[in-house]
Structure 1
Amino acid sequence: MIPRIDVKVDPSFPEGVPMCMPEEDEISEEGYGFFRGVWDISGVTHEEARAIVEEERGLAHLVDQVSADPEEFEDVARAVERGDPDCLPDGFEDRHPGSEILEIVGDGDREEGVLDGLEIGVAGLSFALSSIGCFPAASCRSHASGRSWSDRPVVYFAAERLTVHWLTPMVRDSGCGFGNGSDRGALLFVEAPSITNLMDLANQILNTVERQSYNR
C-alpha cells in the first residue's frame, strides 16, 4: 500500500521564488542548501534518468504488492533500499516466500545498491530534474516511522525561470505542487500527496523531452 496523505498542493507557477542555478563555489561535497546526507547528482543524462525512473517504478510496484499499510510499505522499502533483511516486517518471508523482494534485499551482504542510493518515490524525479538542467538538492518520500524530515513527499531543487515555466503544466497534470524553499538558498520544491504523483511527474518530464526531441 503506497502511502497517501491529505494535503493541498499549489501547482501554479511559483511567483516570488528565487530561480537560478547555484554558483560552483556554493556547491560542496554534500551538495547545496544545508541538507545532511546529500550529494551532487547534477549532469545526469536522459538515458540515466530513464533507467532510474523505470527501476523505481518496478520497485515501488513490488513493494506496494506486499504491503498492507503505510507502515509495512516503509519497512519493505527501507529493506530494499538498504539491502537489509532485518528491516522487513516480522514474518515477511513466511507470508511471501516467493516474493522477488527477498531476492532484491538479499542476505544483508548485497554489493550493489538500488536507485543510486536515493529513496523509492523521489529518486526518479531527482534524476529527471537533473537531466533537464536542474540541480536536485534534497529529497524525501516522507516516512511513516515518524523519523521523517518532511511530512509529505518532496524534492528540493534549483532551476532557471524558463525551466520552471516549462515544468508547470506537468506539475499540475501529475497532481503535484510547487513550494518555496528559499530559506535554504535559491531553491524551490515539488511536493505531492503521494510518491505516485512524483513518479508520474518524472515520467511526464522524460516523455515530454523525448517527444520534443523527436519532433525537431
Structure 2
Amino acid sequence: MIPTVDVDVDPAFPADLTMGLPDEEDVAEDEGYGCFRDVWTIEEVSRDEAISMIEGERRLVTLVDQASRTHAEFEAMARAAETAELGYLPAGYVAQHPNSELVRVLGDNAEDGSPLDALELGVAGLSYALASVGCFTAASCRSHCADDSWSDRPVIFFAAERPTVEWLTPLVRQSGCGYADGSSRGDRLLTVEAPSITNFMDLANRIVQQAEQQGPVKPSTDV
C-alpha cells in the first residue's frame, strides 16, 4: 500500500528562480549544500548506473507494496528494504512469512547493507536519474507516515543549469510531479515533488529513456 498525499503540485517551468550548479567550495563534506543533516554528495552517475538503481528500487517497491496492507506496514517494510535489516519488518512478519520473496531478498542483501546506496525507497532511482543528466541532488525524502517526517510529500532538493531544467520540465509534467522553490535552503536550489513515490519512479524512467533518445542535455543557444 504505497501512500499518496493529497497535494497539488506545479509542473510549470520555474522561470523566476535562479538556476545553476553550486560552486564546489560551497558544498560541505558533512552538510552537503543547504545545511541538511545526514547527507552526502552523489558523484557522477552513468546511465547504466541510474538504470540499475531504478530497476532495483522498483523491485523493492513492488514487494513492499504487495506485502503491506496499511501505511504503517508500508513504512516498516520500506525501512527494512532501505537498510536490508529484517528487524524493521512488522512484529512476527518473518515467522509468519518465512518463504516470502521480500524476506528472501532482504536476507540476500543483509551482508552487503543498503541496496539503495543508503537512499530512501522511492527517491533513490530519481536521485540517480537526475545525477545522470547533470543535476546536483542536495537532499531527499520519500515522506514518512510519522509526525517527525521532515517533508509532507516526496521531495528532492536539487540544482541544475537552466537548459537542464527546461529539458526536464515536460517529463516532470507527464509524470505528475511538480517544481517548487528550494532557495530558502541554498541559492539555486529548487525541488521536484509529487503526491506519491510512484510519480517519482515514473519520472526516473522517463529521464533515462529520454536521455537515451536525445543524448546529453545541451545548453540552449540563447543562454
* TM bracket, shorter-chain basis: over 0.9
Mapped to 2, the partners of 1:193 and 1:95 lie a distance apart of 32
Corresponding residue of 2:159:
158
Mapped to 1, the partners of 2:83 and 2:53 lie a distance apart of 16
For the aligned residue pairs, the C-alpha RMSD in angstroms reads 1.7
Corresponding residue of 1:19:
19
Determine if contact 1:156/1:190 at 8 Å carries over to the other structure: yes
Which runs of 4 or more aligned residues in structure 1 lie more than 6 Å from their structure 2 counterparts after TM superposition? none
User: Given the alignment, which residue of 198, 201, 221 partners 1:199?
Assistant: 201
Mapped to 1, the partners of 2:195 and 2:13 lie a distance apart of 18
User: Number of paired residues?
Assistant: 214
Deviation at 1:94, TM superposition (A): 3.8
Deviation at 1:102, TM superposition (A): 1.2
Mapped to 1, the partners of 2:201 and 2:61 lie a distance apart of 10
Determine if contact 2:83/2:113 at 8 Å carries over to the other structure: no
Corresponding residue of 1:118:
119
Which deviations, in whole Å up to 9, do the C-alpha atoms of 1:21-67 show, x marking residues without a partner? 00010112232111100100031111111110111111100110100
Question: What pairs up with 1:123-142 in 2 under 5 angstroms?
Answer: 123-142=124-143
TM-score, L = length of structure 1: 0.94
Mapped to 1, the partners of 2:159 and 2:108 lie a distance apart of 38
Mapped to 1, the partners of 2:96 and 2:108 lie a distance apart of 17
Corresponding residue of 1:189:
191
Corresponding residue of 2:76:
75
Corresponding residue of 2:57:
56
Structure 1 unmatched runs, 5+: none
Deviation at 1:184, TM superposition (A): 1.0
Mapped to 2, the partners of 1:93 and 1:112 lie a distance apart of 18
3-state SS of 2:184 partner:
helix
Mapped to 2, the partners of 1:2 and 1:126 lie a distance apart of 19
Deviation at 1:108, TM superposition (A): 9.9
